[in-house]
Structure 1
Amino acid sequence: MSRTVYVNGEYLPEGEAKISIFDRGFVMADGVYEVVSVLDGKLIDFPGHQARLNRSLDALEIGQPLSDEDYLAMFRELVTRNQIGDGLIYLQVTRGNPGDRDFAYPPKDTPQTVVAFTQAKPGLAENPAAQTGWKIVTLPDQRWGRRDIKTVQLLYPSMAKMAAKAQGADDAWLVEDGKVTEGTSNNAYIVKGNTIVTRELSHDILHGITRAAVLRLAREAQLQIEERGFTPEEASAADEAFVTSASAFVMPVVSIDGAEIGDGKPGKIAARLREIYLDEMRKTAL
């Protein structure tokens, strides 16, 4: 069955969806995106993702084509039309089609391009990797300086993820000035005793929506939080480690650059945070 996708106000079969070759998202990577998880047919942490979308658009001075209510209605319609139980919704907003290619921004009244599509992921929350954990390698962080804006320029994260897979790992943690920034598509954490350490918010990392929820739940569980950078060596000596993202939720990390973290198995704190995060998100899903 062909997916129904959303393109600029229309719901279309995926084979009929078209975007201009002059769209700035295509020729300039001039756009932002969000990925929202769907569990049991409901949207996970939609308000957080919508707030970050608005922040990204504002940071790039791209106009806001739809209201929050319009996005919510469109997401729900895509879930219904595509019969998504568990899965993801990908949303992309670009500066639009100026009719030709130019480094200068087009006139402000140029309509933005809005596209969205679903990806069915049955059993998304029951990912077997959560029981075994991820293996991580470190690579230099060679991305641009505004990683807090969720732009569509994802070439280097893709290259880093493929480099990690070539080494037999599941993902890479990116390192700048000797300290871990984040994963290729996730925020990074280590645990020492009762303390969770993760990099502080800045232009250096994406302000993860799952990150915010997990840290809130960790504090409610009486865990200590240190928001600071940590080195790969500190990660190797940690009791446990994990990553968070909209699609992986809370994913344990069991090794870094070939060195086992803790006993080389998913840690108890990561497992507990995954459990309480999924429980909370299901209760508050829209």
Structure 2
Amino acid sequence: MSKLTSDPGYVAITNETTMLVIPPLFHIFGLVFLVSTIAANGKAVLMEAFKPDLFLQSIEKYKVTYLPLVPSLMVFLMKSSMVDGYDISSVNDVFCGGSPIGVDLEELFYKRVNNVRPRQGYGLTEAGIISMMYPKLYKPGSAGKLTPTIEMKIVNPDTKTMLGVNQPGEICVRGATVMKGYLNDEESSKKDIDSDRFLHTGDLGYITEDGYLYIVDRIKEVIKYKGFQVAPAQLEERLLRHPGVKEAAVVGKPDERAGELPTAFISKQENMTVTAQELIDLIAQHFHADKQLHGGVIFVEEIPKTVTGKIARKMLKELVKQY
């Protein structure tokens, strides 16, 4: 762990780092950054929960240099007008995890926040750090390369057969940092860990020929429309390219004939106009017919979030049933 966090080719935490930690400390994301900062004699600033004004005040007050963020907080920094009222110029490194972001969001973030390239990583509390994007080997949209202790295979989620390079499937990992099983829960352990000791993560992704990992989405979050798989993260990223969109979240609306209808919840930018048809047409221009917003667009004042700033998808899945 110390190699990964202190080496400038990896996470690159030093005694000059001031880290603002928001992710919960019982998850691997928050725990690794907190412990690593302390071990490096850096400064750690803790937030109990994400509050927009306190978040920005903390960056300015403590001259925060390093931010571990989930995608929704990246979007906040890119899109919120509140940011203009604070000095966040101290930020020089951003590590993104929790769910995937694509090339478009990375580029938007770079242009908006101090020309910082957000580096993606991938990990689980059950497995530790699985992959990360190293500064010198940057590939847009990727979660980087596997860390030295990890082995990976990609399998068909239904048949469990092995897949080749560039073929999306369930990510399975094993290695020194992967858990042995769930405490006092043998049934769940057998379900998630196969006979070859690979942990089945429930995440959908693929590996390229040169060894870069790309995360598509959580398998359970993928929308099933007429047998086709629709990844919400891809649609959300495209919607956020629209200047009138402040926040976007796509969930499946239950439908007897189609299974689920991709439906977008949208929070508008202040003093800007955008119509539902504009956004429906935007998606239609960039995605196949099976990946359209067949459930339409729902405008809301704010996208509901968890205490860590992630999109509260469970709440949205219940809310969409009312429309």
> How does the TM-score come out when normalised to structure 2?
0.25
> How does the TM-score come out when normalised to structure 1?
0.27
